[in-house]
């Protein structure tokens, strides 16, 4: 009996099952910590305990420094999609629907989701590595010794800046994306910009704009909260910083995709 037990523990099946169980435990542990930090952030915000100077700096970081890469990603994505779709639609006699299709795609999905991906890659990873470095170098321990609440000092300005600035970034990228679609359809399919913009309003409604901005609010808060949480619980020196940054990026990607799916089910099904 003992030998059979030892044999089972050395088998591939046992290692796979224990590995899955370990990952599930880590998943729920991380989810619980993120939720706990989110509740604390809400409490501090409701009490008005916000470092306004740090908030302004983080808003600049979230909104201004991320704008060039976000605009580049969204514009190139629109150019790729429009260049492949516009010509075929014109060939099939659907040229008067190109503007509508591109605009709906940009406003409903592409601008907000690609902006989220760009923010994760540039800002989210930066937040995670910054706080993780503070953790492994014991700067956060020093903050706690000084009777300063780390969540209030580190999380609140960053999460609020994400919530406040991501919609601004999405609105700007949406406008630029639509303009990029108009120029691309003109160059690739010979569709005049006037025809593009005349059809752009046919399929867009106020609900689409509100849903896009609502997703942007959620994306910004989730990206900042997940990135800060993963960095906050880092351990193990330089290796821990790298692992925390990777974890923040992966969790943020998964988080915004899930939120995007929930919005799609709630408003478009």
pLDDT in 10s for each residue of the chain, 269 residues: 456 666 656 666 666 777 777 777 877 888 888 889 899 999 999 998 888 898 999 999 888 888 888 999 889 988 998 888 888 888 777 778 888 888 888 998 889 999 999 999 989 999 999 999 999 888 888 888 888 888 888 999 999 999 999 999 999 999 999 999 989 888 888 888 888 888 888 778 888 889 999 999 999 999 999 999 999 998 888 888 998 999 999 999 999 999 999 999 998 87
* Structural domain includes residue 9: no
Structure tokens at 5: 């037990």
Residue 61, domain extent: 20-268
Hunting for tokens 């591939």 — which residue is that?
Answer: 12
* Structural domain includes residue 5: no
What's the pTM value of the predicted model, to 2 decimals?
A: 0.88
DSSP string, 207-253: HHHHHHHHHHHHHHHHHHHHHHHHHHT--SHHHHHHHHHHHHHHHHH
* Structural domain includes residue 13: no
Hunting for tokens 């120029």 — which residue is that?
Answer: 183
* Structural domain includes residue 24: yes
* Structural domain includes residue 241: yes
- What lies within 8 Å, CB to CB, of 210 at 6+ separation is none
* Structural domain includes residue 46: yes
For residue 146, give Cα distances in angstroms to 49, 50, 141, 142, 266.
17, 18, 9, 6, 46
The domain tally of the chain equals 1
Measuring CA to CA, which residue among 266, 168, 267 is closest to residue 216?
168
């Amino acid at each position: 009996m003992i030998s059979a037990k030892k044999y089972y523990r050395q088998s591939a099946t046992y290692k796979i099952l224990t590995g899955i169980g370990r990952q599930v435990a880590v998943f729920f542990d991380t989810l619980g910590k993120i939720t706990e930090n989110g509740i604390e952030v809400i409490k501090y915000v409701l009490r008005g305990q916000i470092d306004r100077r740090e908030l302004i700096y983080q808003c600049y970081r979230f909104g201004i420094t991320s704008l060039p890469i976000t605009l580049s990603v969204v514009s190139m994505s629109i150019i790729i999609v429009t260049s492949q779709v516009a010509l075929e639609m014109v060939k099939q006699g659907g040229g008067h629907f190109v503007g509508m299709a591109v605009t709906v795609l940009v406003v409903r999905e592409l601008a907000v989701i690609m902006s989220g991906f760009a923010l994760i890659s540039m800002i989210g990873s930066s937040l995670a590595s910054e706080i993780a470095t503070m953790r492994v170098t014991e700067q956060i321990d020093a903050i706690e010794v000084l009777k300063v609440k780390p969540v209030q000092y580190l999380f609140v300005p960053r999460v609020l800046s994400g919530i406040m600035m991501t919609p601004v970034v999405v609105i700007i990228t949406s406008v630029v994306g639509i303009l990029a679609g108009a120029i691309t359809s003109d160059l690739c399919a010979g569709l005049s910009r006037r025809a593009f913009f005349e059809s752009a309003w046919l399929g867009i409604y106020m609900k689409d704009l509100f849903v896009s901005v609502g997703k942007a609010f959620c994306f910004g808060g989730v990206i900042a909260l997940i990135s800060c949480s993963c960095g906050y619980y880092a351990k193990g020196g330089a290796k821990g910083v790298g692992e925390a940054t990777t974890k923040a990026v992966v969790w943020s990607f998964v988080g915004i995709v899930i939120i995007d799916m929930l919005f799609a089910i709630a408003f478009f099904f």
